[in-house]
Amino acid sequence: MEADIWLVDGRLLVAHDADGLDPSRTLQSLYLDPLAARVRERGGCVYRSAPGLPLQLLIDLKTAGEPTYRALAAALRPYHRILSSATAAGRVRHRAVTAVVSGDRGARAPLEAERVRYAFYDGRAEDLDGGAPASFIPLISGNWNTFFHWQGTGPFPAAERAALRGMTAAAHRAGRTIRFWATPDAPGTAREAVWHELLAAGADWINTDDLAGLAAFLRAHDG
């Protein structure tokens, strides 16, 4: 689950683009409050079928990273009972929802400075072999088109397949998960071909705006 947030007059508003901002559409009202209610109703979990599985809430900062993250950190604290946390020493406590901060990279310094935080940091390819632990960067994200020319039509070039599997393996060796955004998302064989390769490589997340389409694909390829 992903939320794009903007810091506007001290409030965290949710919109993909600035022209969609609405004072009533806050991070709390659209995401945090409903998730807290769901976790209460389900006895401390999001998914009844997998009670130990946290939901990853990716929070994409659309305004300047440092002030936006400081406002976000304050907004997350009241929800500490449902949020995974980490200490500066690297001790992680998993709860029903794991918040991961993406978007503007200025959020990294205030995140690293916290003694106890209720969010984690979304890394990039340069963090695959970096010094930051998985307790700080549990996720590596990248633009598909930065690394791969293939868009699902025709054979997947062998060198690109090897690169995909190498990046995935490197993330997993470091105890991280990996995702790619901007993969083809129009329904059809090209999209499914890319999804097949992501699954075969062991990618942990598949980005899409078509949740029903992805659900149908995953059910058809379960196991």
Residues 132-153: pLDDT tens digits? 999 999 999 999 999 999 999 9
Residues 46-68: pLDDT tens digits? 998 888 888 999 999 999 999 99
Residue 25's pLDDT band, with cuts at 50, 70 and 90, is very high
Residues 174-185: pLDDT tens digits? 999 999 999 999
| pLDDT the model gives residue 56 | 97
Alpha helices (H) in 33-64, listed in sequence order: 33-41
Residues 63-87: pLDDT tens digits? 999 999 999 999 999 999 999 999 9
Q: Which of 164, 80, 92 has its CA nearest to residue 133?
A: 92
The CA distances from residue 149 to 6, 96, 101, 185, 223, in Å, are 32, 37, 27, 15, 28
* Domain parsing of the chain, residue ranges: 1-121, 124-223
Burial of 39 (0-12, 13-18, 19+ CB in 10 A): buried
CB-CB contact of 90 with 133 (8 Å): yes
DSSP element (H, E) containing 196: helix 189-201
The pair of three-digit structure tokens given for residue 135, joined into one six-digit string: 């307790």
CB-CB contact of 124 with 142 (8 Å): yes
Q: Which of 25, 91, 83, 86 has its CA nearest to residue 56?
A: 83
| pLDDT the model gives residue 92 | 97
| pLDDT the model gives residue 83 | 98
Strand partners, 56: 98
Residues 101-137: pLDDT tens digits? 999 999 999 999 999 999 999 999 999 987 899 999 9
Residues 89-105: pLDDT tens digits? 999 999 999 999 999 99
| pLDDT the model gives residue 223 | 60
Does the pLDDT value for residue 32 go beyond 80?
Answer: yes
Residues counted in the chain: 223
Does the pLDDT value for residue 220 go beyond 70?
Answer: yes
The CA distance from 96 to 155, in Å, is 40
| pLDDT the model gives residue 130 | 79
The CA distance from 43 to 52, in Å, is 11
Task: Count the neighbouring beta carbons within 10 Å of the beta carbon of residue 221.
Answer: 11
